[in-house]
Structure 1
Amino acid sequence: MSVQKACVIGAGVMGASIAAHIANAGIPVLLLDIAAKEGDKTAITKGAIEKLLKADPAPLMHKDAAKLITPGNLDDDLPKVAECDWIVEAIVENLEIKRGLYAKLETLKKPEAVVSSNTSTIPLHYLIEGRAESFRKTFMITHFFNPPRYMRLLELVGGAETDPAALARIEEFCDRTLGKGVVPCKDTPGFIANRIGTYWIQVAVNEAIDLGLSVEEADAVGSRPMGIPKTGVFGLIDLVGLDLMPLIAKSMKSVLPASDDFIRTNLQHPLLDKMIADGYTGRKGKGGFYRLNAVGGKKVKEAIDLKTGAYRAAQKPRPEALERAGRSLKALVTDPSPHGEFAKRVLVQTLGYTAALVPEIADTVTAVDEAMRLGYNWSFGPFELIDQVGADWLAAEIAAKGLPVPKLLELAKGKSFYRQEAGKLEFLGTDGAYHPVERRPGVLLLADIKRNAQPVLKNASASVWDIGDGVLCFEFTSKMNSLDNEIMALLTKTVQTIPAKGYKGLVIYNEGTNFSVGANLGLALFAANIALWPAIEEIVEAGQKTYKALKYAPFPVVGAPSGMALGGGCEILLHCDAVQAHAETYMGLVEVGVGIIPGWGGCKEMLQRWLSVKRRPGGPMPAIGKVFETLSTAQVSKSAHLAKELMYLRADDGVTMNRDRLLADAKAKVLALAEGYKVPEEFEFRLPGPSAKLALDMAVDGAAGAGKATPHDITVSKTLAEVLTGGPNGDVTVVLKEDDILALERSNFMRLAKNPKSLARMEHMLETGKPLRN
Structure 2
Amino acid sequence: MSEATIRKVCVIGAGTMGAGIAAQVANAGVPVLLLDIVRDPANRNAVAEGAVAKMLKTDPAPFMSKAAAKLVETGNIEDHLARVAECDWIVEAIIERLDLKQQLYAKLEEVRTPGTAVSSNTSTIPLDHLVEGRSDAFKRDFLITHFFNPPRYMRLLEIVAGPASDAALVDRIADFADRRMGKTIVRAKDTPGFIANRVGTFWIQVGLNAAFDLGMTVEEADAIAGKPMGVPKTGIFGLVDLVGIDLMPHLQKSLTSTLPADDRYQQIARSFPLIETMIADGYTGRKGKGGFYRINRAENKRKEAIDLATGEYRPQAKAPELRGPAARGDLAALIATPGKAGEYAWAILGETLAYAASLVPEAADDIVAVDVAMKLGYNWKYGPFELIDRIGAAKLAERLAAEGRPVPAILTLAGDRSFYRVEGGRRQYLGLDGAYHDVPQAEGVLLLEDVKRNSEPVLRNASAALWDIGDGVACLEFTSKMNALDGEIMKLIGQAVPLVQQRFKALVVYNEGSNFSAGANLGLAMFAVNIAAWGEIEKLVAGGQLAYKTLKYAPFPVVSAPAGMALGGGCEILLHSDAVQAHAESYIGLVECGVGLVPGWGGCGEMLHRWQTNPKFPKGPMPAAAKVFEIVSTATVSKSAAEAREYGFLRAEDGITMNRDRLLADAKAKALSLVDGYRAPEQPTFRLPGAAGRAGMKLAVESFHKRGMATDYDMVVSDTLAEVLTGGDADLIDTVTEGDLLALERKAFMARVRDKRTQARVDHMLSTGKPLRN
Q: Please give the range of the TM-score, normalised by the shorter of the 2 chains.
A: over 0.9
SS of 2:678 mapped into structure 1: coil
What amino acid does structure 2 have at the position aligned with 1:102?
Y
How far 1:320 sits from its partner (Å)? 3.0
What amino acid does structure 2 have at the position aligned with 1:743?
A
**How many angstroms apart in 1 are the aligned matches of 2:305 and 2:291?**
8
Give 5+ residue unaligned stretches, structure 2.
none
The match for 2:737 is 737
**How many angstroms apart in 2 are the aligned matches of 1:114 and 1:420?**
39
1:370 and 2:372 correspond: yes
Match of 2:343 among 334, 341, 344: 341
SS of 1:143 mapped into structure 2: strand
1:449 and 2:451 correspond: yes
Asked whether the 8 Å contact 2:486–2:520 carries over to 1, the reply is: yes
**How many angstroms apart in 2 are the aligned matches of 1:497 and 1:406?**
53
How far 1:614 sits from its partner (Å)? 6.6
Q: Residues 250 and 616 of structure 1: is their aligned pair in 2 closer, same or farther, counting only changes over 3 Å?
A: closer
Asked whether the 8 Å contact 2:40–2:46 carries over to 1, the reply is: no
Match of 1:41 among 44, 50, 60: 44
Q: Residues 207 and 579 of structure 1: is their aligned pair in 2 closer, same or farther, counting only changes over 3 Å?
A: same
How far 1:732 sits from its partner (Å)? 2.5
The match for 1:655 is 656
Asked whether the 8 Å contact 1:332–1:343 carries over to 2, the reply is: yes
Deviation string, structure 1 residues 645-667 (Cα, Å, up to 9, x no partner): 01000011000000000000000
The match for 1:592 is 593
Deviation string, structure 1 residues 48-106 (Cα, Å, up to 9, x no partner): 11111111111000012111111111111000001110000000111111111111111
**How many angstroms apart in 2 are the aligned matches of 1:305 and 1:657?**
44
The match for 2:156 is 153
**How many angstroms apart in 2 are the aligned matches of 1:372 and 1:520?**
33
Structure 1 segment 502-541 matched on structure 2, within 5 A: 503-541=504-542
Q: Residues 773 and 323 of structure 1: is their aligned pair in 2 closer, same or farther, counting only changes over 3 Å?
A: farther
**How many angstroms apart in 1 are the aligned matches of 2:537 and 2:618?**
41
The match for 1:481 is 483
Asked whether the 8 Å contact 1:87–1:115 carries over to 2, the reply is: yes
Asked whether the 8 Å contact 1:321–1:339 carries over to 2, the reply is: no
The match for 1:419 is 421
Q: Residues 6 and 734 of structure 1: is their aligned pair in 2 closer, same or farther, counting only changes over 3 Å?
A: same
SS of 2:674 mapped into structure 1: helix
**How many angstroms apart in 2 are the aligned matches of 1:346 and 1:328?**
15
The match for 1:165 is 168
Q: Residues 762 and 616 of structure 1: is their aligned pair in 2 closer, same or farther, counting only changes over 3 Å?
A: closer
SS of 2:685 mapped into structure 1: coil
The match for 1:564 is 565
Deviation string, structure 1 residues 3-61 (Cα, Å, up to 9, x no partner): 10010000111111111110110111111111124311111111111111111111000
**How many angstroms apart in 2 are the aligned matches of 1:558 and 1:333?**
46
Deviation string, structure 1 residues 535-557 (Cα, Å, up to 9, x no partner): 11111110000001000000000
Asked whether the 8 Å contact 2:229–2:329 carries over to 1, the reply is: no
**How many angstroms apart in 1 are the aligned matches of 2:104 and 2:618?**
60
Q: Residues 110 and 487 of structure 1: is their aligned pair in 2 closer, same or farther, counting only changes over 3 Å?
A: same
Deviation string, structure 1 residues 437-474 (Cα, Å, up to 9, x no partner): 12111000111111111111111111111100000011
How far 1:330 sits from its partner (Å)? 2.5
What amino acid does structure 1 have at the position aligned with 2:82?
P
The match for 1:712 is 713
The match for 1:27 is 30
Asked whether the 8 Å contact 2:372–2:383 carries over to 1, the reply is: yes
**How many angstroms apart in 2 are the aligned matches of 1:285 and 1:96?**
31
The match for 1:272 is 275
How far 1:318 sits from its partner (Å)? 4.8
TM-score (norm: length of structure 2): 0.98
1:215 and 2:193 correspond: no
The match for 1:675 is 676
**How many angstroms apart in 2 are the aligned matches of 1:614 and 1:443?**
36
**How many angstroms apart in 2 are the aligned matches of 1:638 and 1:44?**
27
1:237 and 2:224 correspond: no
Q: Residues 357 and 636 of structure 1: is their aligned pair in 2 closer, same or farther, counting only changes over 3 Å?
A: same
Structure 1 segment 53-202 matched on structure 2, within 5 A: 53-202=56-205
Asked whether the 8 Å contact 2:7–2:30 carries over to 1, the reply is: yes
Asked whether the 8 Å contact 1:6–1:87 carries over to 2, the reply is: yes
How far 1:615 sits from its partner (Å)? 9.1
Q: Residues 414 and 617 of structure 1: is their aligned pair in 2 closer, same or farther, counting only changes over 3 Å?
A: closer
**How many angstroms apart in 1 are the aligned matches of 2:153 and 2:256?**
29
**How many angstroms apart in 2 are the aligned matches of 1:318 and 1:553?**
54
Count of residues paired in the alignment:
771
Q: Residues 679 and 37 of structure 1: is their aligned pair in 2 closer, same or farther, counting only changes over 3 Å?
A: closer
Structure 1 segment 591-630 matched on structure 2, within 5 A: 591-613=592-614, 619-630=620-631
Deviation string, structure 1 residues 165-189 (Cα, Å, up to 9, x no partner): 1111111111111110010000000
What amino acid does structure 1 have at the position aligned with 2:552?
K
How far 1:327 sits from its partner (Å)? 3.6
How far 1:616 sits from its partner (Å)? 7.4
**How many angstroms apart in 1 are the aligned matches of 2:329 and 2:356?**
23
The match for 2:359 is 357
How far 1:277 sits from its partner (Å)? 1.1
Asked whether the 8 Å contact 2:274–2:311 carries over to 1, the reply is: yes
Q: Residues 707 and 514 of structure 1: is their aligned pair in 2 closer, same or farther, counting only changes over 3 Å?
A: same
**How many angstroms apart in 1 are the aligned matches of 2:445 and 2:144?**
24
**How many angstroms apart in 1 are the aligned matches of 2:472 and 2:337?**
50
Asked whether the 8 Å contact 1:217–1:319 carries over to 2, the reply is: no
1:500 and 2:502 correspond: yes
**How many angstroms apart in 1 are the aligned matches of 2:246 and 2:569?**
44
Name the % identity.
60
| C-alpha RMSD over aligned residues | 1.3
Q: Residues 458 and 720 of structure 1: is their aligned pair in 2 closer, same or farther, counting only changes over 3 Å?
A: same
The match for 2:381 is 379
SS of 1:564 mapped into structure 2: strand
SS of 1:27 mapped into structure 2: coil
What amino acid does structure 2 have at the position aligned with 1:508?
V
**How many angstroms apart in 2 are the aligned matches of 1:321 and 1:499?**
50
How far 1:305 sits from its partner (Å)? 1.2
How far 1:284 sits from its partner (Å)? 1.3
Asked whether the 8 Å contact 1:544–1:601 carries over to 2, the reply is: yes
The match for 2:401 is 399
How far 1:340 sits from its partner (Å)? 2.8
SS of 2:53 mapped into structure 1: helix
1:227 and 2:230 correspond: yes
What amino acid does structure 2 have at the position aligned with 1:759?
Q
**How many angstroms apart in 2 are the aligned matches of 1:269 and 1:696?**
61
**How many angstroms apart in 2 are the aligned matches of 1:18 and 1:195?**
22
The match for 1:551 is 552
Asked whether the 8 Å contact 1:550–1:576 carries over to 2, the reply is: yes
SS of 1:60 mapped into structure 2: coil
Give 5+ residue unaligned stretches, structure 1.
none
Deviation string, structure 1 residues 696-745 (Cα, Å, up to 9, x no partner): 11111111111111111111111111111011x21232212111101100
More displaced 10-residue stretch of structure 1: 176-185 or 209-218: 209-218
**How many angstroms apart in 2 are the aligned matches of 1:520 and 1:459?**
16
What amino acid does structure 2 have at the position aligned with 1:82?
A
**How many angstroms apart in 2 are the aligned matches of 1:99 and 1:590?**
52
Match of 1:428 among 430, 434, 442: 430
**How many angstroms apart in 1 are the aligned matches of 2:304 and 2:47?**
37
**How many angstroms apart in 2 are the aligned matches of 1:322 and 1:13?**
44
How far 1:622 sits from its partner (Å)? 1.0
**How many angstroms apart in 2 are the aligned matches of 1:538 and 1:773?**
29
Q: Residues 321 and 338 of structure 1: is their aligned pair in 2 closer, same or farther, counting only changes over 3 Å?
A: farther
**How many angstroms apart in 1 are the aligned matches of 2:271 and 2:32?**
43
Asked whether the 8 Å contact 1:322–1:332 carries over to 2, the reply is: no
Asked whether the 8 Å contact 2:612–2:619 carries over to 1, the reply is: no
SS of 1:558 mapped into structure 2: strand
